[in-house]
Amino acid sequence: MASRTGYRTRQQEELLRYLKAAPGRHHTAAEIHAHFAATEQPIGTATIYRRLERLTEEGIIRKYVLETGECACYEYIEQADQCTAHFHCKCERCGRLIHLDCDELREIRTHLLEHHGFAWNAGKTVFYGLCDRCRNG
């Protein structure tokens, strides 16, 4: 199957199939490598990074780099603008990334644009704290 920009390898197809199987989940390259290492079709770490970058460039997956020095995570997206319309919360304990749709934050975003001329990028905005599981567990 050809990608939007050209030839797609078997490994890239396997990687994409893996990401599509868990929509909304964020994967690190290490998690992906561990998954494929446990199968009969392992994929090398360098190949995983190259394929992830290519899929990111094609707009098929989204890459999140949340803190300096922290590894990136990747998510399969079905629509190119899916992650620009909402905010993100990251749990500082378990690392979970939560998509947040919130009218109040949209109002702040509108206020910033209309009254201060500042266009807040919701897709790159991350709030840090503890998720409900970590707070209650």
Kindly report the pTM of this predicted structure: 0.59
Q: Which tokens is 93 given?
A: 């304990």
Q: What is the pLDDT of residue 1?
A: 41
pLDDT along the chain (137 residues), means of 10: 55 88 83 91 90 86 71 74 68 80 87 94 81 89
Task: State the Cα–Cα distance between residues 132 and 137, nearest whole angstrom.
Answer: 8
- pLDDT, residue 96, reads 77
Written as one string, the DSSP assignment of the chain is --BTTB---HHHHHHHHHHHTSTT--EEHHHHHHHHHTSSS---HHHHHHHHHHHHHTTSEEEE--STTSPPEEEE-SSTTTTTSSEEEEETTT--EEEE--HHHHHHHHHHHHHH-----GGG-EEEE--HHHHH-
Tell me which of 1.10.3720.10, 1.10.10.10, 2.40.50.140, 3.10.105.10 is the CATH number of domain 1-82. Answer: 1.10.10.10
- What pLDDT was estimated at residue 79? 57
pLDDT of residue 4: 44
Q: Where are the chain's structural domains?
A: 1-82, 84-137
Task: Identify the architecture of domain 84-137 in CATH.
Answer: 2-Layer Sandwich (3.30)
